[in-house]
Amino acid sequence: MQKIDLSETGLRAMNKMLHGQSEHTNQTTWEIVNPKGSHAIACGLDAPIEVTVKGSTGYYCAGMNQQATVNIHGSAGPGTGENIMSGKIVIEGDASQYLGATGHGGMIVVKGNASSRCGISMKGVNIVVQGNVGHMSAFMGQSGNLVVCGDAGDALGDSCYEARFFIRGEVKSLGADCEKKEMREEHLALLQQLLDEAGIDADPTEFTRYGSARTLYNFDVDNAGAY
């Protein structure tokens, strides 16, 4: 394991070391200590490495991630995993607002709660939250899956497209064009797969599926009040 003390190495040098990894690296496991809430830790990774951050992080940790697994042993600041393309991010604590924004692929797991706008404009990422999510989560969600083992705040899935939302607890309110959906066998199987991958023990039959009512795809004057 390669260990980096961020208080000594500095953010720029640390990220440069991680970016120097390639498909054929033998330095596959890294540990970062003393993050002290620094921003942009482990951003732009594109190698099959595993990075563990021992502490809480600031803005945009693991943004634009590809291939790598990033473990955060603390809580994560706003924009963690923004534009993730592949790989996995696991947050042991809570996540701040707009977690996984515009994420195209990969998985983000939150062992605590996630704040507002979780999964905003998600484009294929899978997000699994063991606790609750805040208001406007999955706003404009285009594809991918948001799994919430707790409750969801106001305006869940507002103006969503084809993303799927599985909520075990209560939903304070649904956003424009988001509705309750039938939970069929293929959805139960998909949800079980996501929970297994996230390492969360929960019964898929306890969840409710939500998604787009498909009334806002094209402008229709009869639906003007919903815009």
CB 106 within 8 A of CB 127: no
Q: Bigger pLDDT: 4 or 227?
A: 4
**Mean pLDDT for all residues in the chain:** 94
Both tokens assigned to 40: 């942009």
Average pLDDT over every residue of 144-171: 97
Percent of the chain with pLDDT over 90: 89
Average pLDDT over every residue of 107-118: 98
* Type of residue found at 147: V
Distances (CA, A) of 224 to 25, 138, 198, 215, 219: 55, 22, 40, 10, 8
Question: Which pLDDT score is estimated for 188?
Answer: 98
* 227 confidence band (pLDDT: 50, 70, 90): low
* 110 confidence band (pLDDT: 50, 70, 90): very high
Task: Tokens 């979780």: give the residue.
Answer: 118
Range 73-76, long-range pairs (CB < 8 A, 24+ positions): 74/35, 75/112
Percent of the chain with pLDDT over 70: 94
Report whether pLDDT(26) > 80.
no
Question: Which pLDDT score is estimated for 25?
Answer: 66
Cβ-based neighbours of 62, under 8 Å, separated by 6 or more: 41, 42, 43, 45, 51, 68, 70, 72, 80, 81, 84, 89
Average pLDDT over every residue of 122-147: 97
The full set of domains in the chain, from first to last, is: 2-226 (2.160.20.60)
pLDDT, tens digit (0-9, with 9 covering 90-100), for 66-91: 999 999 999 999 999 999 999 999 99
Structure pTM? Answer: 0.94
Task: Tokens 């390492």: give the residue.
Answer: 199
Among the ranges given (10-14, 53-57, 60-64), the one the predictor scored with the smallest mean pLDDT: 10-14
Question: Which pLDDT score is estimated for 120?
Answer: 98
